[in-house]
């Protein structure tokens, strides 16, 4: 029997669970110790800790308390791991909890987090996705059904003090360039009651919470990378910074498009992950590793036919930008949304598809001044209708009577 090192009860408040935490700090105690070669299971809450419900009302996405995120299970100590080693992590398998065979996708209000296309979709919206074994479909987004490429959005090891201080100082410098910006340029340490510091208690907890890094961005240790291809069957090599490594993970996604453009997020879910760990002593220097590297799964959904949308670094106002792949990818996404609307989808439904389906995003060209070219690859086989252009023009199969629920700002 494989040990379940963290159990979560979805009916409970995650703040009462000592096996989870929602900040990065070197003083967060290991909740369990394992040996190299061991395998074990971690159960995880969804990234918001159950704030989003399976209903047709987006008020919970509008009102979400973002300082609570992300609820991570761990940290797991690995005996013998020392700074400079590589922690080798096999993601042996991932699944949904049987009592929770559904996930959510949302767009945050621009007033509370926003998203990649927040200027175009400024209000909170939510779609619910039901799991049919390895497939998913949504009552809010008809006409698509696809196989999940299930993965943790967030996995990594604890930082040491030096790395934590580097993160905080560089992110503060960026934040300070426009401290009033909505949404903010970076999520800074807040030390508030929403910081869950695992088994750290009392004054030690308060001191650590005040400087602990938020889990929002990806960093040198991996963290919130949101890489859809980091799926079950992957083998990851993580830099180790503290004695025991301190592996934590969460934010499971049933499926996600490249970029996780909707931010809330992919198809977010609670679930479990079966992991195996090993060590490469001194591996960081041996292989010149600064950020994690990984080998993807031998199993992926077989979607190999695409309709590909191009975007260039000219923004919505017609302004020219210099080799800006962020703007180019945004244009590719907006082009795909306009196309899907011709078949009857609302913009929100099209946006939800790009955020959740196994769409690929590519940086196609970054040298042809002044335009970067990014491409968005839309798999044709996920649609239950013909996506391709033809001489007769698009056939509308939706009439707008079904949409992604929206919650007006208060
Ligand atoms: Zn997520």
Residue 267 Cα to ligand 1 middle (Å) = 7
Identify whether 300 is part of a domain: no
Identify whether 359 is part of a domain: yes
Q: Are residues 288 and 317 in the same domain?
A: no
DSSP lists the bridge partners of residue 238 as: 87
Residue 151 Cα to ligand 1 middle (Å) = 10
> What pLDDT is attached to residue 400?
86
Residue 304 Cα to ligand 1 middle (Å) = 25
Residue 215 Cα to ligand 1 middle (Å) = 11
Q: Are residues 259 and 399 in the same domain?
A: no
Q: Are residues 129 and 199 in the same domain?
A: yes
Q: Are residues 74 and 124 in the same domain?
A: yes
DSSP label at residue 395: P
d(CA 181, CA 26): 30
* Number of folded domains that form the chain: 2
Final residue belonging to a domain, choices 242, 266, 295: 295
Query: Residue 237 in 3-state DSSP?
Result: strand
| Digit-coded pLDDT (tens) for 296-323 | 999 999 999 999 999 999 999 999 999 9
Residues with CB in 5 Å of ion ligand 1: 47, 153, 251, 265
CATH code of residue 175: 2.60.120.580
Identify whether 134 is part of a domain: yes
Identify whether 410 is part of a domain: no
Identify whether 283 is part of a domain: yes
Residue 142 Cα to ligand 1 middle (Å) = 22
> What pLDDT is attached to residue 192?
87
Identify whether 93 is part of a domain: yes
Residue 138 Cα to ligand 1 middle (Å) = 18
Contact 136, 129 (CB under 8 A): yes
Q: Are residues 267 and 196 in the same domain?
A: yes
Q: What is the 3-state secondary structure (H, E, C) of 41-86?
A: EEEECCCCCCCCCCCCCCHHHHCCCHHHCCCEEEEEEECCCCCCCE
Residue 115 Cα to ligand 1 middle (Å) = 13
Identify whether 174 is part of a domain: yes
| CA atoms lying within 13 Å on the CB side of residue 265 | 25
Residue 194 Cα to ligand 1 middle (Å) = 18
Identify whether 58 is part of a domain: yes
Cis peptide leading into 163, omega within 30 of 0? no
Q: Are residues 352 and 233 in the same domain?
A: no
Residue 346 Cα to ligand 1 middle (Å) = 23
Q: Are residues 243 and 329 in the same domain?
A: no
Q: Are residues 36 and 174 in the same domain?
A: yes
Residue 116 Cα to ligand 1 middle (Å) = 14
Q: Are residues 337 and 248 in the same domain?
A: no
Residue 255 Cα to ligand 1 middle (Å) = 10
| Digit-coded pLDDT (tens) for 60-98 | 999 999 999 999 999 999 999 999 999 999 999 999 999
CB contact set of 102 (below 8 Å; sequence gap of 6+): 54, 128, 129, 130, 131, 269
Final residue belonging to a domain, choices 295, 322, 343: 295
DSSP label at residue 320: B
Q: Are residues 241 and 350 in the same domain?
A: no
Q: Are residues 215 and 349 in the same domain?
A: no
Residue 97 Cα to ligand 1 middle (Å) = 16
Contact 358, 145 (CB under 8 A): no
Residue 252 Cα to ligand 1 middle (Å) = 6
Final residue belonging to a domain, choices 295, 322, 345: 295
CB contact set of 345 (below 8 Å; sequence gap of 6+): 141, 143, 353, 398
Among candidates 119, 364, 383, which has minimal Cα distance to 261?
A: 119
Return the structure tokens found at 299.
């199993």
Residue 80 Cα to ligand 1 middle (Å) = 31
Residue 273 Cα to ligand 1 middle (Å) = 15
CATH code of residue 368: 3.10.28
> What pLDDT is attached to residue 410?
87
Residue 185 Cα to ligand 1 middle (Å) = 19
Residue 131 Cα to ligand 1 middle (Å) = 17
Whole-prediction pTM:
0.96
Q: Are residues 229 and 356 in the same domain?
A: no
Cis peptide leading into 70, omega within 30 of 0? yes
For residue 153, give its domain range: 4-295
Residue 47 Cα to ligand 1 middle (Å) = 6
Which segments of the chain have a pLDDT < 50?
Answer: none
Residue 226 Cα to ligand 1 middle (Å) = 7
């Amino acid at each position: 029997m494989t040990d379940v090192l963290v159990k979560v009860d979805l009916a409970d408040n995650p703040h009462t669970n000592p096996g989870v935490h929602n900040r990065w700090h070197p003083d967060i105690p290991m909740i369990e110790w394992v040996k190299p070669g061991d395998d074990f299971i971690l159960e995880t809450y969804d990234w918001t800790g159950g704030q989003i419900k399976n209903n047709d009302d987006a008020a919970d996405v509008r009102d979400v308390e973002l300082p609570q995120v992300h609820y991570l299970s761990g940290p797991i100590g690995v005996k013998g791991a020392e700074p400079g080693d590589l922690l080798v992590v096999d993601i042996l398998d991932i699944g949904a909890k049987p009592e929770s065979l559904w996930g959510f996708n949302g767009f945050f209000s621009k007033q509370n987090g926003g998203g990649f296309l927040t200027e175009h979709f400024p209000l909170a919206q939510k779609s619910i996705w039901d799991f049919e074994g390895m497939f998913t479909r949504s009552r809010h987004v008809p006409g698509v059904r696809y196989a999940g490429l299930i993965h943790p959005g967030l996995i990594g090891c604890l930082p040491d003090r030096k790395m934590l201080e580097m993160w905080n100082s560089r992110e503060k410098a960026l934040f300070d360039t426009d401290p009033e910006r909505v949404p903010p340029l970076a999520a800074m340490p807040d030390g508030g009651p929403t910081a869950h510091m695992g088994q750290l208690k009392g004054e030690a907890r308060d001191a650590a919470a005040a400087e602990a890094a938020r889990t929002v961005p990806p960093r040198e240790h991996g963290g919130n990378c949101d890489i859809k291809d980091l799926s079950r069957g992957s083998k990851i090599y993580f830099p180790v910074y503290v004695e025991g490594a301190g592996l934590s993970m969460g934010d499971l996604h049933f499926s996600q498009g490249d970029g996780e453009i909707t931010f809330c997020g992919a198809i977010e879910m609670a679930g479990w992950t079966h992991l195996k760990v090993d060590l490469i002593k001194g591996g960081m220097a041996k292989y010149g590793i600064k950020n994690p590297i990984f080998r993807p799964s031998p199993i992926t959904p077989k979607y190999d036919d695409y309709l590909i949308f191009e975007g260039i670094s000219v923004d919505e106002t017609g302004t020219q930008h210099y080799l800006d792949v962020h703007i180019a990818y945004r244009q590719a996404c907006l082009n795909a949304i306009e196309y899907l609307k011709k078949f009857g989808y609302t913009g929100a439904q099209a946006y939800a598809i790009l955020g959740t389906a196994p769409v690929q995003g590519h940086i196609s060209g970054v040298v042809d001044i002044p335009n970067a070219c990014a491409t968005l690859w839309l798999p044709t086989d996920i649609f239950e209708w013909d996506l391709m252009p033809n001489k007769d023009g698009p056939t509308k199969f939706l009439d707008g009577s079904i949409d992604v629920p929206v919650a007006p700002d208060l």
